[in-house]
Structure 1
Amino acid sequence: MSVLNWFLTGPDQPRITDRTVIKKEYKKHRIEDIASIIFGYGMYYVVKLPLSVAKKPLLAEGMTATQLGMIGAALTIAYAFGKCFNGFMGDRCNIKKIVPLGLLGAAIMNIIFGFSSINFTLFFFLWLMNGFFQSMGSAPWTVSLSQWFGKRKLATWYGVCGIAHYLGEGLTYVGTAAIVARFGWRSGFFAPGFFCILVALLMYIFMSDRPETYGLPPANEYDGDVETAKVEKAKSTGKAQFEALKNPFVWCVALSAIFLGVARYSIDNWGVIFLQEQCKYSVGVAGSILAISSVTGGLGSACSGIISDRIFKSRHATTSIVFGIVMLAGIIGFCTFSYNRALCMVFTAIYGFGLGIELSFLGGMLAVDLVSQKATGAAMGMVGLLSYLGATGQEIVNGRLMDISKRVVNGIAVYNFSVINKFWIISVFLMILFVIPVVFAKRKKADGKE
Structure 2
Amino acid sequence: MKRTKSNLIFLVCYLAYTSIYIGRLNFSMASPGLKESFVLTQEQVGMIGSVFFVVYALGRVVNGYIGDRVSPWIMMSLGLLIAGASNLLIGFLPPFIGILLLWGSNAYAQSMLWSSLTRTVSEIYEYEKAKKMMSYMISSVAAGNILAILVCTGIIGSLGLSFAFIVPGAILLVFCLAVLLTVSRVKCKPVQSNHLPMKELVKDKRIHSVALPTLFHGMIKDNISLWMTLFFMAQYNIDLEASAYFILLIPVVGLAGRMAYPFICRFYKEREYKIASHGFLVCIVAALLLLIKVPPIVAMIALSLIYAAVSIINGVFLSAFPLQFAATGNQASVSGIMDFFNYFGAAVGSLVFGFITEHFGYSSMFLTYALVSVISVIIIERKVIKKAN
Shift of 1:172: 1.3
Shifted more, 244-253 versus 264-273: the winner is 244-253
1:420 maps to a residue whose letter is M
Aligned to 1:384: 339
Instruction: Identify if the C-alpha distance between structure 1 residues 417 and 346 changes in structure 2 by more than 3 Å, giving closer, same or farther.
Output: closer
Q: Secondary structure at the match of 1:369?
A: helix
Can you give the 5+ residue segments of structure 1 that lack an aligned partner in the other structure?
1-24, 219-231, 406-415, 444-450
Distance 1:337 1:148 in 2: 49
Question: What do residues 327-357 of structure 1 show as CA deviations (whole Å, max 9, x unaligned)?
Answer: 3333444x24674233233333322321221
Distance 1:69 1:306 in 2: 36
Aligned to 1:440: 386
- Picking from 111, 114, 117, the partner of 2:91 is 114
Shift of 1:109: 0.6
- Picking from 264, 285, 288, the partner of 1:329 is 285
Shift of 1:84: 0.5
Instruction: Identify if the C-alpha distance between structure 1 residues 433 and 93 changes in structure 2 by more than 3 Å, giving closer, same or farther.
Output: farther
Q: Secondary structure at the match of 1:322?
A: helix
Distance 1:428 1:180 in 2: 35
Instruction: Identify if the C-alpha distance between structure 1 residues 171 and 108 changes in structure 2 by more than 3 Å, giving closer, same or farther.
Output: same
Aligned to 1:139: 115
Give aligned pairs, total. Answer: 387
1:321 maps to a residue whose letter is S
2:310 maps to a residue whose letter is L
Instruction: Identify if the C-alpha distance between structure 1 residues 371 and 123 changes in structure 2 by more than 3 Å, giving closer, same or farther.
Output: same
Aligned to 2:3: 27
Instruction: Identify if the C-alpha distance between structure 1 residues 52 and 429 changes in structure 2 by more than 3 Å, giving closer, same or farther.
Output: farther
- Picking from 219, 227, 230, the partner of 1:273 is 230
- Picking from 280, 291, 296, the partner of 2:248 is 291
Shift of 1:286: 2.2
- Picking from 295, 305, 318, the partner of 1:350 is 305
Distance 2:81 2:357 in 1: 33
Shift of 1:265: 1.7
Instruction: Identify if the C-alpha distance between structure 1 residues 80 and 328 changes in structure 2 by more than 3 Å, giving closer, same or farther.
Output: same
Question: What do residues 62-93 of structure 1 show as CA deviations (whole Å, max 9, x unaligned)?
Answer: 22211111111111111011100111111112
2:384 maps to a residue whose letter is V
Q: Secondary structure at the match of 1:207?
A: helix
Shift of 1:136: 0.6
Aligned to 1:422: 367
Shifted more, 66-75 versus 290-299: the winner is 290-299
Q: Contact 1:155/1:365 (CA < 8 Å) preserved in 2?
A: yes
Q: Contact 1:107/1:197 (CA < 8 Å) preserved in 2?
A: yes
Q: Contact 2:280/2:377 (CA < 8 Å) preserved in 1?
A: yes
Distance 1:124 1:311 in 2: 44
Distance 2:171 2:93 in 1: 19
Can you give the 5+ residue segments of structure 2 that lack an aligned partner in the other structure?
none
1:99 and 2:56 matched: no
1:55 maps to a residue whose letter is S
Aligned to 2:327: 372
Question: What do residues 131-177 of structure 1 show as CA deviations (whole Å, max 9, x unaligned)?
Answer: 11010112221122222333323332111011110111111122212
Shift of 1:360: 0.7
Q: Contact 1:44/1:137 (CA < 8 Å) preserved in 2?
A: no
Shift of 1:111: 0.8
Larger radius of gyration between Structure 1 and Structure 2: 1
Instruction: Identify if the C-alpha distance between structure 1 residues 151 and 321 changes in structure 2 by more than 3 Å, giving closer, same or farther.
Output: farther
Distance 1:154 1:243 in 2: 25
Distance 2:16 2:380 in 1: 30
Q: Contact 2:322/2:332 (CA < 8 Å) preserved in 1?
A: no
Q: Secondary structure at the match of 2:202?
A: helix
Aligned to 1:301: 258
Q: Contact 1:109/1:129 (CA < 8 Å) preserved in 2?
A: yes
Q: Contact 1:46/1:171 (CA < 8 Å) preserved in 2?
A: yes
Aligned to 1:245: 202
Q: Secondary structure at the match of 2:112?
A: coil
1:26-65 matches, cutoff 5 A: 26-62=2-38, 63-65=40-42
Instruction: Identify if the C-alpha distance between structure 1 residues 435 and 290 changes in structure 2 by more than 3 Å, giving closer, same or farther.
Output: farther
1:438 maps to a residue whose letter is V
Question: What do residues 22-43 of structure 1 show as CA deviations (whole Å, max 9, x unaligned)?
Answer: xxx3313320222012211000
Shift of 1:402: 2.8
Q: Secondary structure at the match of 1:104?
A: helix
Question: What do residues 7-64 of structure 1 show as CA deviations (whole Å, max 9, x unaligned)?
Answer: xxxxxxxxxxxxxxxxxx3313320222012211000111112111112121122222
Q: Give aligned-pair identity as a percent.
A: 20
2:194 maps to a residue whose letter is S
1:186 maps to a residue whose letter is S
Q: Secondary structure at the match of 1:281?
A: coil
Q: Secondary structure at the match of 1:440?
A: helix
Question: What do residues 164-199 of structure 1 show as CA deviations (whole Å, max 9, x unaligned)?
Answer: 101111111222122223332222111111122112
1:394 and 2:370 matched: no
Distance 1:360 1:75 in 2: 22
TM-score by length of 1: 0.80
1:417 maps to a residue whose letter is Y
- Picking from 38, 42, 62, the partner of 1:85 is 62
Q: Contact 1:275/1:338 (CA < 8 Å) preserved in 2?
A: no
Instruction: Identify if the C-alpha distance between structure 1 residues 94 and 112 changes in structure 2 by more than 3 Å, giving closer, same or farther.
Output: same
2:386 maps to a residue whose letter is F
Shift of 1:306: 3.0
Distance 2:318 2:374 in 1: 16
- Picking from 176, 186, 210, the partner of 1:200 is 176
